[in-house]
Amino acid sequence: MHKVVMLILLVVSGQAAFGQTGRESLSLDEATTSKCLTILRQGMKGDDFWPGIHAAEGLTLGGYGSEVVAWLTPLVPNETDDQKRCGLARELARAGQRQHLNTMLDILAGDNSWGHTHAAESLYKVYGIGDGTRLRNAFQTATEMKLKLMAAGALARCGNPDMMAYLRQMLEHNDPEVLKIATWLLGRIGDAGDIPRIREQLRRCEHVLLKAYLHHSLAALGDADGLQQLKRNLQHEDPMVRTYAATFAGDAWATDAKDLLVAMLNDVHPDAAIRAAQSLLQMSRPAAPSRAEDISVVVYPSTAANPRYTEGSVLPLMDGSLLFAVTEFSGNGSDFASAQIIARQSGDEGRTWSDSRVLQKNTGGMNCMSVTLRRLADGRVALFYLQKNSTTDLDLYVRFSTDEAATFGDAILVTNQPGYHVVNNDRIAQLKNGRLLAPAASTPDVEASKDYPEHGHFVSHCFLSDDGGTTWRLGKGHVDADRRGAMEPEVLELNDGRVLMLIRNQLGYIGRSYSSDQGETWSPMESLGLQAPEAPSTVRRVPSTGDLMLVWNDTYDAKTRSGGARTPLSVAVSRDDGQTWSKVGDLETNPKATYSYTSLTFNGDRILMSYWDTSVGAGRFSCRFRSLPVSWLYASSPVSSRN
């Protein structure tokens, strides 16, 4: 198997939404590079806080984030001002310390309003929205317009179409400050269609700084006239105009302004020199790929020795990299073949991957399979997996890591009841109150017989933990269905506090059930309203919008025992918490292949998925990583499916 070398971590830097693929990098001589670094290093360590934070940003964008981490980390414990705490947290997060996003989210939700706007602005700058709840609440309740705009910007950058529409509407606002901020945001996250909208506002701009904001945003969106004005503003008599022009030069990839930016390294206004150094270093690096990119990579191709790689899970780590775990089967592709859990890591958003390492060796009589990686509310990483000993003995275990999945502690038994308990990959849920739910489909014996026809018939229920996964117990109720029963459940907490369970069955549709007591008991199964074969479905809440995203096989053939092949692989969205669904499109459509056992999570403005793919290798199962922009869910013409 070809080995792909993992690239150096690329930290999201806040470049224009349409990306910069194909743009040539700037060539800097050694003396200029050295001068840029000197300005930024001295600025970061200077006495003036905010220019120091701007210098830290420049160093990270220039590829020197490790210096930023080393300098800023010791400052964090002693800082009490919420606005400055946001600045420190933002630049540490930008430099690859994503755990600091929690500081900004906590400040945003805190009682002290002093840091609210800074928190929203900082989260916008580093694509950090958490589960989206606090930013959505901030937008809905804010009375201060800058906070409302910044919350909208953070949500829009991560794919919320309503927030993009709101920002475009704010271009018509009577308050020049609102116009300035809306333009600043759209210059970075808008598209070419925003150019005429912003141009139209120039007619009512009298203040030189406001006009500069509009010109600089136009330049960042690719407008030639805006770029020419940006270059003129690099020599403007107003130091603030020069500073903002230098900042936007990097966003606009204004490489032909190199000489003007080099001259600004001697600017008497320190922040102007810092921003010039930032843009020069930023443009000397490879241009960032488009944020609209569809990343699709077979990370685990099947081989003769390992004919099946399936049931994966993807977890964003705090350094910005991605960890992708999967079940590696040996010998044959049977559910009962020998298997272990392995993982690979990516530092470039999933385009290339490291060599594999073992996360969980085979400790079962048959195998270990079906991995779930979860970030818990307390920051720990949980590794859930099935240990299979026989057709009557299948259990879920969990191990915890406090060092970002470098090592894991001892295994804890979750399904502490006799029987065969199927828990699909990427399935564990943590509720708002902290309770962990492990949805399981259970049977005494997976193989039915003449004497024991009830074997092979499944009921679905949840194992619960209220102490962070240390101890577990079986819930009081379960869900059943006709024929083979209620299989491979998925659970998700709804806005009204109920828990939704989705259920695989043999009845031609996705089943659903509800719990009003956090997973203890369940209502009788009914149809979700979508056809499906006997195959699992996966649902998650979209952080930037609060909508639900569903991945399933949109097909059904009543003539077949299994209800049809597991193709196409489709996506639907619900904007009413699962009551109704609208199909977005198909991810995969090859009728000769199958696609199933999807994992699904979100990372900033990206949807991260994995699923098995039989189109690679004759009759074997490979595992594909897929990453799409969240905006794909809401595009009038979604990204074309692969086939």
Whether pLDDT at 5 is above 50: no
> 602 - beta bridge partners?
607
Cα diameter, the chain: 92
> Rounded to 5 degrees, what angle do the CA atoms 596, 602, 604 make?
150
- In tens, the pLDDT along 531-573 reads 999 999 999 999 999 999 999 999 999 999 899 999 999 999 9
> Rounded to 5 degrees, what angle do the CA atoms 488, 492, 493 make?
150
Q: What is the edge-to-edge ordering of all strands in the sheet holding 499-504?
A: 487-493, 499-504, 509-515, 526-531
Length, in residues, of the chain: 643
What is the predicted pLDDT for the residue at 642?
52
CA distances from 582 to 172, 364, 508, 570 (A): 32, 42, 18, 11
- Rounded to an integer, what distance in angstroms lies between the CA atom of residue 226 and that of residue 205? 15
Mean pLDDT, residues 423-433 taken together: 98
Q: 181 in a domain, yes or no?
A: no
Domain range for 362 is 295-634
At residue 639 the predicted structure's pLDDT band, cuts being 50, 70 and 90, is: low
3-state DSSP assignment of residue 262: helix
Q: Which string of DSSP letters, residue by residue, matches 177-234?
A: HHHHHHHHHHHHH--TTHHHHHHHHGGG--SHHHHHHHHHHHHHTT-HHHHHHHHHHT
User: How many DSSP H helices and E strands does the chain contain?
Assistant: 16, 25
Report the Cα 13 to chain-centroid distance in Å.
15
- Rounded to an integer, what distance in angstroms lies between the CA atom of residue 513 and that of residue 528? 9
3-state DSSP assignment of residue 353: coil
Whether pLDDT at 455 is above 90: no
Q: 315 in a domain, yes or no?
A: yes
- In tens, the pLDDT along 434-449 reads 999 999 999 999 997 7
Q: 3 in a domain, yes or no?
A: no
Phi-psi region of 631 (alpha: psi -120 to 50; beta: other; left: phi over 0): alpha
Mean pLDDT, residues 100-110 taken together: 98
Q: What is the pTM of this model?
A: 0.95
Q: CB–CB of 500/491 below 8 Å?
A: yes
- Rounded to an integer, what distance in angstroms lies between the CA atom of residue 392 and that of residue 83? 58
Domain of residue 521, CATH code? 2.120.10.10
Q: 284 in a domain, yes or no?
A: no
Count: domains in the chain = 1
At residue 13 the predicted structure's pLDDT band, cuts being 50, 70 and 90, is: very low
Query: How high is the mean pLDDT of the chain?
Result: 94
- Rounded to an integer, what distance in angstroms lies between the CA atom of residue 553 and that of residue 563? 11
Mean pLDDT, residues 106-123 taken together: 97
Q: 323: part of which helix (H) or strand (E)?
A: strand 322-329
Report the Cα 575 to chain-centroid distance in Å.
19
What is the predicted pLDDT for the residue at 8?
29
List b or e across 589-627, with b for residues whose CB sees 16 or more CB atoms inside 10 angstroms. bbeebbbbbbbbbbbbbbbbbbbbbbbbbeebbbbbbbb
Give the rounded percent of residues in the chain with a pLDDT score beyond 90: 92
Give the rounded percent of residues in the chain with a pLDDT score beyond 70: 95
Q: 278 in a domain, yes or no?
A: no
At residue 23 the predicted structure's pLDDT band, cuts being 50, 70 and 90, is: confident
CA distances from 143 to 137, 139, 180, 557 (A): 12, 9, 18, 54
Q: 116 in a domain, yes or no?
A: no
Neighbours of 470 (CB within 10 A): 10
Q: 93 in a domain, yes or no?
A: no
632 token code pair? 């794909």
3-state DSSP assignment of residue 30: helix
Q: 166 in a domain, yes or no?
A: no
What is the predicted pLDDT for the residue at 616?
82
- Rounded to an integer, what distance in angstroms lies between the CA atom of residue 101 and that of residue 91? 10
Whether pLDDT at 151 is above 90: yes
3-state DSSP assignment of residue 155: helix
